[in-house]
Chains A and B, each alone.
Chain A
Amino acid sequence: FRLSSLIGHISTCPSLIGQCCQRHPGSVDEFQEELVIRPLHSGDIYASFQFRTLWDTDFLQEGQKVSHYRLFPKSLGQVLSKFSVRELHISFTQGFWRTMQWGQPFIPSPPGAELWVWFHDTVSDVDGNWKELTNVLSGIFCASLNFIDLTNTVQPSASFKPLGLGNATDHRFLRYATLPREIVCTENLTPWKKLLPCGSKAGLAVLLKSEKLFHSSFHSQAVHIRPVCQDEQCTSKAWELRQTLNVVFDLYTAGQGKKAFRSSIYLNCGKTGELFELSPATPLLSQAVVLGDRRTYSVFDLTRAETFGQLRSLNLLLRWKGDGGEMLRPLLHAERYVAGFGLQTGEIHTVIYNNHPYRAFPVLLMDSVPWYLQLYIHTLTVTSKSRDNKPSYIHYQPAKDRHRPHLLEMLIQLPPHSMTEVTVQFERALLKWTEYTPDPNHGFYVGSSVVSALVPSMVAMSTNFTQDQPLFSSFVPVKEESSYFVRVYTEPLLVNLPTPDFSMPYNVICLTCTVVAVGYGSFYNLLTRTFQVDEPSLPLAKRLANLIRRIRGVPLLT
């Protein structure tokens, strides 16, 4: 039976596509865009937009300043060359990705803002460059990224390897920071859309209407810049700018949808064709392996005229056929929560699930905890199946008050079909009264933990990195066929710190002044006040008589 439908209308503007969003003849910029729509088992729709701009240039070429920008945005190009950035990943997310209900996302991101940057090894002052870079990015994206400073920046020692080309991985040139409190709204989407070559005037970006995008269960927009292979032989580099937008729409509230489709749309048909029926049916079907899962996709290539049919419009209609079959359980899943009571101590529990029936695999858990939650590392325990599980790599950097957060990285081997629990106790610090936010009773956020893993794949992954692969399957480089790399983010924590009553200084001043005035004042008066008899004033006649008597030297009248 029909649960809901998704209808799209289109008006074609082929001349605009031809001029703007295609490969430029004669120049070396390339632009590709893609939309993947995947209906989820929970009744939601997952839409993933990816826009990729390729630029063949070398910023660090000797003696040559890049001044001509075509498709690559100038604001980002100048940032990359000024701060000698090798890789930049920034994401803004609203909502939390529910792995157990929705599966794995194509590009994961934690709630709030996340920024991690690899600098070139020619940089001498990485911290200075990092500070200036965050300020510049806060201006570009209209976000409060200037709150990123040394108190929430960490330098991971094994996580977050570069996703682009390169050999050197000296972790001194890596910086990672996250702002879990950061809000995402239209003011972040506006500059993000301006980075696209055509803005929001042509291409799939026309679909990006803020009122629809933010009325969703999950919204994440990201910018990833990295060097990639220019061609098959991979002898030279090109810069790749990938802008991704992942949205999960709850159909019962979102209602009608999009306006215009361009370029290609991939529609995930799912393993069984019985989940829903698609009209108009398209002859183009492609198979892609992403995240260890071979799925069939219906492809609508919008650059070809026959997709649009007679009416020059594309109307996508999905009709659900009742409750679908079982969803494939994600193999890796993580949760995190705070246990304990009171405002003195607590315990952080991170739980990682390995749902593979017979294979064990290693995961790298990275935790960055702010300095005001003082961790007691001697209480750190890692247990799997109620037995101690000793990690093969532990890196711990203790926090310095008001200077540096805690960083804990552990490589843990997860036994098959098990639940691993990592617990550590902490104590809450009392901040100085100027360090509290204007709404301290809301609580303080602790950023998500990052779990990076090589998950064994049921299906052989292809290690060839060709240009013709769809964008959503070519983000993470694949090194071996039997496993794929996945990154899972846990929930951020909201922790209440002992908060003083900020009206107390006013109360204390009032009370003290009153006590001093009443108590001390009365006491002082008692000790020093003397009483004198006051004579009543005489009438005028008597005063004149007294004047005459004074002259005469005779005693005065009273």
Chain B
Amino acid sequence: MNYCNLITIFAFINLLVSIPHGYSNYVETKAGQFFSSGHTNNWAVLVCTSRFWFNYRHVANTLSVYRSVKRLGIPDSHIVLMLADDMACNYRNPKPATVFSHKNMELNVYGDDVEVDYRGYEVTVENFLRVLTGRLPPSTPRSKRLLSDDRSNILIYLTGHGGNGFLKFQDSEEISNMELADAFEQMWQKRRYNELLFIIDTCQGASMYERFYSPNLMALASSQVGEDSLSHQPDLGIGVHLMDKYTFYLLEFLEEVHPASQANMNDLFKVCPQSQCVSTPGHRTDLFQRDPGSVLITDFFGSVRKVEITKDTINLTSPVEPPIKRSGSSDIQIESLTYVDQLPVAEIIHQQDCLEANVTRCRRKQQRTRKLNCQVVEKQTA
């Protein structure tokens, strides 16, 4: 009896010890998967390079990627959104403050809390390259900077009109594939990214990633060299084409993705085959070190926050004391403050007389003709 009891007690104690051990093993493997990608923060640079109302679809493309990226967790402070023209509040838009991606106005990708960092004439090749390489003037605000470090995964999305080896910005200038490759090399040398995903939706888009030579780059394009990317469907109410085919199917794919999904890059490569897209989407993974099958979509499109569990206690400092209000000393007479006269006519005319007297004084180099109470009369042309 005692022996049986001893065995059951022993087994019970063993069970008690092994369960947490097994559980911590499980936690460790999960934690191991958690940290396998090597990045700690996510950034996105989304650029639409086309101007004019008939290029509505390029703005809709960019905004649909913006919407997916925001929905999956990347905050506005980590997104640099560049839109070369305003479609939502354009006077030709029959529904102001909206940009639709599906016909019959089903989905408004503009939303209610969009923040555009570069808009209108600010979207230039120079500004785009400066954002990527970080060489911005010192007075640039934080929301317009790409403050990535060597553990950032960056998603770069470009759309607009392009050709073999170039992408047109605002109908007046262009960026070549060599410039883009050099910019990425500068980013690599300055350790401004951990991994970079480059997506481009233009005609002959594959030519833009042909010249990349920096490591850890993965690129996707909507069409091969010699092919045109086509637009999807027009909306008769708005009067223009709403989206491009590739980004339309990309949006449909991304709508299925949620922050915890395990979809990987191989699924992304299958988006929009030739039967749907008419053009042949291409991709390039030779510069990427990990296997695309092990790269999650949320590594680039989402922002999965890492949590560090600490077991030490931290002592908080004492709270800030509110400043003691200056005791109104009643002995000193404080004169009451007044508002300024908005249109002091007499003073303005007096100013004119002072100016004229100054001029006559300069010319004649004599005593003043009239004694005017002109205080420091600064030369207005200073």
Residues on A close to B: CB < 8 A?
64, 67-68, 94, 131-132, 135-136, 138-140, 142-144, 146-147, 157-158, 161-167, 169, 172, 181, 183-187, 190-191, 209-211, 213-215, 229, 233-237, 362, 364, 392-395, 397, 411, 437-439, 452-454, 465, 476-477, 479, 485, 502
Contact = CB atoms under 8 A, between A and B. Distances in A.
A501 to B, nearest CB: 13
Contacts of B328: 235
Contacts of B122: 144, 146-147
B88 A411 contact: no
A215 B90 CA distance: 11
B349 interface: yes
A393 B139 CA distance: 38
B51 interface: yes
B144 A187 contact: no
A186 B88 contact: yes
B116 interface: yes
B97 A211 contact: yes
A477 B143 CA distance: 37
Interface string B341-382: 111110011011001000000000000000000000010111
Contact of A186 (B112, B334, B338): B112
A146 B349 CA distance: 36
Contact of A166 (B98, B117, B337): B337
A364 B113 contact: no
B322 interface: yes
18 contacts: A94-B89, A131-B139, A135-B139, A139-B143, A142-B117, A142-B119, A144-B121, A146-B122, A161-B341, A161-B342, A185-B86, A185-B97, A190-B115, A210-B112, A362-B345, A392-B348, A438-B170, A454-B342
B352 A394 contact: yes
Given A184-B89, A453-B343, A476-B342, A140 B121 contact: no
B51 A362 contact: no
Contact of A479 (B112, B120, B342): B342
A190 B113 CA distance: 5
B95 interface: yes
A165 B334 CA distance: 15
Contacts of B342: 161, 163, 452, 454, 476-477, 479, 485
Given A186-B114, A235-B334, 20 more contacts: A67-B320, A135-B139, A144-B121, A157-B380, A162-B340, A163-B339, A165-B338, A166-B340, A172-B378, A184-B89, A185-B86, A186-B110, A210-B97, A214-B88, A215-B96, A229-B337, A364-B348, A411-B349, A454-B342, A479-B342
B120 A144 contact: yes
B349 to A, nearest CB: 5
Contacts of A191: 115
Interface in B167-186: 170-172
Instruction: Report whether over half of chain B's contact residues are helix, strand or loop; otherwise say mixed.
Output: loop
B20 interface: no
Given A64-B323, A439-B52, A213 B349 contact: no
Contacts, number: 163
Interface of B: 51-52, 86, 88-89, 95-98, 110-117, 119-122, 137, 139-144, 170-172, 320, 322-323, 328, 334-345, 348-349, 351-352, 355, 378, 380-382
A148 to B, nearest CB: 12
A64 B340 CA distance: 28
A164 B339 CA distance: 6
Contacts of A215: 95-97
A234 B337 contact: yes
B117 A411 contact: no
B209 to A, nearest CB: 26
Contacts of B144: 138-139
Nearest to B111: A186
A257 to B, nearest CB: 15
B116 A187 contact: yes
A393 B98 CA distance: 48
A486 to B, nearest CB: 9
A358 to B, nearest CB: 19
B343 A138 contact: no
B100 to A, nearest CB: 12
Given A67-B320, A135-B140, A147-B121, A393 B340 contact: no
A111 to B, nearest CB: 12
B104 to A, nearest CB: 17
B379 to A, nearest CB: 11
Contact of B320 (A68, A165, A187, A236): A68
Contact of B339 (A143, A184, A479): A479
